[in-house]
Amino acid sequence: MKKDTLKEQLQRTTRRDLWLTVAPAALLIGIAFAVTFYFVKPAPPMKLVLATPQDEGGFRYFAKKYQESLARHGVKVEIQQTKGSLSSVELLSEDTEQADVAFVQSGTAGGEKAAHIVSLGSLSYVPLWVFYRGEPIDDVRGLTGRRIAIGGAESGTHALARTLLSVSGVDKAPTELLPLERDAAIEQLKKGQLDAVFLVSPAEAPAIQKLAAEPGVRLLSFTRGEAYVRRYPYLSRLVLPRGVFNLAADIPAHDVVLLAPTANLVAKDSLHPALAYLLMRTASEIHGSAGLLDRSGEFPAPLETGFPLSSEARRYYDAGIPLLQRYLPFWAANLVDRLWVMLVPIIAVVVPLGRAVPALYLWRVRSRIFRWYARLKEIELQLEENPGREMLEDMMKRLEEAERAVNRIPVPLAYAENLYFFREHIDVVRRRLTRRLSGAPDSRELVVTQVTAS
What was the pLDDT predicted at 66?
A: 95
Q: What is the Cα Rg of the chain in Å?
A: 43
What was the pLDDT predicted at 47?
A: 93
What was the pLDDT predicted at 140?
A: 94
Question: Would the CA dihedral through 82, 87, 89, 94 be positive or negative?
Answer: negative
Distances (CA, A) of 121 to 54, 302, 316, 432: 21, 5, 10, 92
Task: Say if residues 301 and 317 touch (Cβ distance below 8 Å).
Answer: yes
d(CA 433, CA 450): 20
What was the pLDDT predicted at 452?
A: 36
Residue 264 amino acid letter: N
CA 378 to centroid of chain Cα atoms: 67
Task: Say if residues 296 and 290 touch (Cβ distance below 8 Å).
Answer: yes
Note down pLDDT in tens along the chain; length 454 residues: 344 554 565 556 666 666 666 777 777 777 766 766 666 667 788 899 999 987 676 788 899 999 999 999 999 999 999 988 888 888 888 877 789 999 999 887 665 567 789 999 999 999 999 999 999 999 999 999 999 999 988 888 999 999 999 999 998 889 999 999 888 999 999 999 999 999 999 999 999 999 999 999 999 999 999 999 999 999 999 999 999 999 999 999 999 999 999 999 999 999 988 899 999 999 999 999 988 998 898 999 998 888 899 999 999 999 887 777 777 887 677 666 666 666 666 677 777 777 777 777 667 767 777 777 787 888 878 888 888 888 888 888 888 888 787 777 766 666 667 777 777 888 888 888 888 888 765 544 444 344 333 3
What was the pLDDT predicted at 401?
A: 83
350: DSSP letter: I
d(CA 376, CA 370): 10
What was the pLDDT predicted at 403?
A: 79
DSSP string, 372-412: THHHHHHHHHHHTT---HHHHHHHHHHHHHHHHHHHTS---
d(CA 188, CA 180): 10
Strands 101-105 and 128-132: unpaired
d(CA 410, CA 254): 102
Residue 299: its H or E element: none
Question: Would the CA dihedral through 326, 100, 161, 196 be positive or negative?
Answer: positive
What was the pLDDT predicted at 179?
A: 93
215: exposed, middle or buried (Cβ count in 10 Å: 0-12, 13-18, 19+):
exposed
